[in-house]
Structure 1
Amino acid sequence: MRVIGLAGWSGAGKTTLLTRLIPELNRRGVSVSTLKHAHHAFDLDTPGKDSYEHRMAGAREVLISSERRWALMHELRGEPEASLTDLLRRLSPVDLVLVEGFKREPHAKIEIHRAANGKPPLHPDDPSIVAIASDVAFPEAGRPFVPLDDIAAIAEIVLAGAEPLATVLARPQRQA
């Protein structure tokens, strides 16, 4: 497995890009999984559903299965948030893991930047950013640049910049 992140401020277009990038990578024969960081409490199930009731009753994990998919939810119940490396270890093997978020972790990342957001770029302070996908160029960045809408070029950068899972797992992670 190889790993690369898409990092940027909220509203930069990371999720939109992922939904266009995954089919392009699949067309090239690359199996892809994603790992997304959420910044707040979130629910995949809804009040009244059995899985929600199990979780609210105190279950540590709730596994939901059907003929189409299965999902495992793990309640932390006061434990610290799982690290990126802990989460990567839980994934089934694929060719490529695309990490959305975790912008402060030291894995290889492509910065997703949109000028209209009004947020500063991440790359000046993050040596793990290997390329920039944006609607504005950063000639001083010293990293490859690709326009946000050039999905084929972004796929090339993803494949070239992704690092082996073992490299990511061996690297010290950021301290909370």
Structure 2
Amino acid sequence: MNILDTIGQATIDKVQSERPVPRFEPGDTLRVHVKVQEGNRERLQVYEGLCIGRKNAGVNSSFTVRKISFGEGVERVFPLYGPGIWEIEVVRKGIVRRAKLYYLRELRGKASRIAEDVEAQRELIAEQAEEAAKRPRREKLKKEKPKDERTVRAVKGGKR
């Protein structure tokens, strides 16, 4: 292992400790939360679409997500370990027999659908449930009841 591989592996380990990278393949539907900076503000933008390819190159790994926005196909390449990616969620698993799904660019409508892998979807749901159980729960806010009749009428918008 040379020095570049060592540095790259350290970067990958650091990113995976901050946010776990899920297992996904081409054909899976992903929801990618991306940090977008507009002026001084920073916000999260969700990009949901079909993963049509992955490039595994250590710290330079990337994946391509395709979605249809207002009737136009939009593809975006994301760096897997980039600082701009907040979270990657696997929405559903798909069954494909190709590593690159570039042929979907020419297909329209129902022809461009990918079959769902039901068994893998069950495993994914079980895995996500285990992760959710490990995370601390947020307490629900309790709604306070109005104390007198006037407050109830004011809340409901009614008159006496």
Normalising by structure 2, what TM-score? 0.23
Which of the pair has the greater relative contact order for Cα pairs under 8 Å at 6+ separation?
1
Normalising by structure 1, what TM-score? 0.22
Larger Rg: 2
